[in-house]
Amino acid sequence: MLGTITASRLNVRSQPDQHSNKLGEIVKGTVVNILAQKNGWYEILYNKLPGFLFGQYVDLRDDSITQAGIITARLLNIRERPDTSSPILGTLGKGSKIDVISSNQNWVEFSFKESSAYLARDYVELHLQESLSFGKVTVQLLNVRQSPSLSAPVIGQVKLDDKLEIISSVGEWLEIRFNKINGFAAAQYINTNTDEEIPPTIPIGPNQIEEEPERPAVSRESVNDGFEPTKLISEVGGPEERKVAATWNRYGALLEDLSQDKQIDVACTVAVLCVESSGRGFSSANNDRMIIRFENHKFWKYWGKQDPEKFRRHFRYNSGKAWTGHQWRADSQAEWQSFHGRQNAEWEVLDFARSIDNDAALLSISMGAPQIMGFHYQAIGYQSVQEMFDDFNAGIKAHIEGLFNFMSPAMIQHLQRLKFESFAGLYNGSGQKKKYGRWIKNHYDAFKRRQ
């Protein structure tokens, strides 16, 4: 487990007791690896010795998050101790990734040959990394690189809809398993919010394809302007930091006003928007159409039960976990296709379903930035699901206001108390509350770090 020091300077003690010997001190913002908790104290390794920190001044992070480092020097000496006069154990080249044990202003301790060693802090770029399990590629071709840098050698490629085994998230990159070795791919082109836990795809060989796909220059996000906050946040850092910053920069003024009205920390609403739709209501990669998600099991409820034979010819899902295993086919003789994670495919399914039953299809999709299901149209003040669909299609303001109108008193209370898993249980459903609760918390923390 990781913890971040919140005091300006925090003493490291030899025992979990404020009267024990002082081994040193750690400055505010330092991330430490916590080995154990004892009576309000956290045990760490400090210069390879057990040390203890008073827990009141340590902010714990999620168990799934660890710290990684990327070497920025051409060659960096590995030291036995945090001292420039200590023996050199070897070197690491630029772009190398390390698993960080602890760090301070001068040195980074990292895992090295079943023990630990030290690197000069000035030449190590630190990132939080999260275990993510699986992801899906969202661009036609994506380079896999030897290290997390655009200048690193390309070792191969993955293609659109390939399923990837993700080792960790490192800044703007995802570390993936690739041809029995680890490689790195740009995080922004991999969808990690997938419910499909299926084996990864075998990747293709290397080629010279750029990571950045072509995208339209103008988006309907700008149809309703005037939502920008007076203070913008720099869109740098890891995927979560960039996402919350971009969401704040687009809608901050409106989000702040509506959050104050509900007495919710605006960081909560930024986090919810980021998790539900990456903070966007329209997809520039899909002709600026509204972001949707078609739910097969809901279409079964609103139409399929009336004609189960026809439904089963075109749609299927996992009956044990109804939100997973969604596939479809327009031709009942064709192969089944997955479609979640690709907006053009989501719309293709929706258009097909609307040709069968328009209202049932619209009731079965989640819409826009807050990803509110169509069947909730009355709860957010619409007379029909068609009216909601048309209003959400018109511009982003309806999405933001819809989010706040949709929140029940219980949801608001959970956000006020920062109980993200409880909120997700009501907003996303009990079957996905742990996953979505964790994602919301991670984005909430990312926004707090940037404020």
Residues 399-414 have a mean pLDDT of 86
What kind of fold does domain 2-61 have according to CATH? Answer: SH3 type barrels. (2.30.30)
Q: What contacts 43, CB < 8 A, 6 or more positions away? A: 16, 34, 35, 36, 37, 50, 51, 52
What kind of fold does domain 133-191 have according to CATH? Answer: SH3 type barrels. (2.30.30)
pLDDT digits (tens, 9 = 90+) for 304-324: 989 989 999 999 987 666 777
CATH number of this structure's domain 65-130, picked from the four choices 2.30.30.40, 1.10.3720.10, 2.60.120.340, 3.30.420.40: 2.30.30.40
**Phi and psi, residue 274, nearest 5°:** -65, -40
d(CA 446, CA 423): 18
CB burial readout 10-38, b (16+ within 10 A) else e: bbbbeebeeeeeeeebbeeebbbbbeeee
195 pLDDT more than 60 = no
Predicted confidence at residue 205, as pLDDT, reads 35
pTM of the predicted protein model: 0.48
pLDDT digits (tens, 9 = 90+) for 137-154: 888 889 998 888 888 888
Residue 429 and residue 323 in contact, taking contact as beta carbons nearer than 8 Å: yes
Q: What contacts 135, CB < 8 A, 6 or more positions away? A: 163, 164, 166, 174, 176, 190, 191, 192, 194
Query: Which pair of structure tokens corresponds to residue 145?
Result: 């690189």
Residue 134 and residue 196 in contact, taking contact as beta carbons nearer than 8 Å: yes
pLDDT digits (tens, 9 = 90+) for 48-79: 688 899 988 887 765 445 677 888 888 999 99
Q: What contacts 72, CB < 8 A, 6 or more positions away? A: 94, 123, 124, 125
383 pLDDT more than 70 = yes
Predicted confidence at residue 277, as pLDDT, reads 65
| Reported confidence tier of residue 203, pLDDT bands at 50, 70, 90 | very low
Per the DSSP assignment, residues forming a β-bridge with 373 are 366
Burial classification of residue 272, based on how many CB atoms lie within 10 Å of its CB (0-12 exposed, 13-18 middle, 19 or more buried): buried
CATH 2.30.30.40 residue ranges for the chain? 2-61, 65-130, 133-191
- How many residues appear in the chain? 451
200 pLDDT more than 60 = no
Residues 370-378 have a mean pLDDT of 90
